[in-house]
Amino acid sequence: MKITIPELSLIILIGASGSGKSTFARNHFHQFEVISSDFCRGLVSDDENSQTASKDAFELLHYITAKRLATGKLTVIDATNVHPEDRKEYIKLAREFHFLSVAIALNLPEEICHQRNNERPDRQFGSHVVRRHTQALRRSLRGLEREGFRYVHILNSLEDINNLEIERQPLWNNRKYEKGPFDIIGDIHGCCDELEELLQN
């Protein structure tokens, strides 16, 4: 399975805790392209799992995202993002900086997410958390385009995720692959005859 991601994209990963968003991000994107809510929690509180630090962590995440978009950098948001209100700010940022908003949802069975969380000593929260995540995700899958996402990709199985290939689509005016030397001709100020003569030589 192959999906195409435009070069100027703000990519929002969506999935329950344990769905493999961070692994997915590492496998498909460069290190500095990915902004993780857990990492931001760690930056502001020294604990990636501190839920009491979430407000400050997401303020930091939004700030970093805006700075990257302002410099034209493809950016990936690694957070659960299972509620529409979680995603609203990213769609707003994408529009503000003229980026395309892309949703990639990891819609895995609840049991897989439970199992993965149980294997991680730092994720010892109740199973009800994953249940709420998966329920919220599935309620909102059909409405992602209506929220304002330009592209929506839903991965419904481990096979879909493991076999996925992401292709980056350059902007039409990205000509980095062209090799010189180049002659650049600006305003000829009525010197058409001289230009034609130059081009014939």
94-142 pLDDT, tens digit per residue, is 999 999 999 999 999 999 998 888 888 776 666 788 899 999 999 999 9
Q: Is the pLDDT of residue 173 over 70?
A: no
Between 37 and 126, where is the model more confident? 37
Q: What pLDDT was estimated at residue 176?
A: 67
Note down the domain range covering 147. Answer: 2-200
Strand, coil or helix: 113: helix
Q: What's the pTM?
A: 0.83
Compute the distance between CA of residue 68 and CA of residue 74 in angstroms, rounded to an integer. 8
CATH number of domain containing 46: 3.40.50.300
- Name 44's Cβ contacts closer than 8 Å, sequence gap at least 6: 53, 56, 57, 60
Q: What is the pLDDT of residues 75-88, one digit of tens each?
A: 999 999 999 999 99
Domain total in the chain: 1
Q: What pLDDT was estimated at residue 19?
A: 93
Q: What pLDDT was estimated at residue 124?
A: 65
Q: What pLDDT was estimated at residue 74?
A: 97
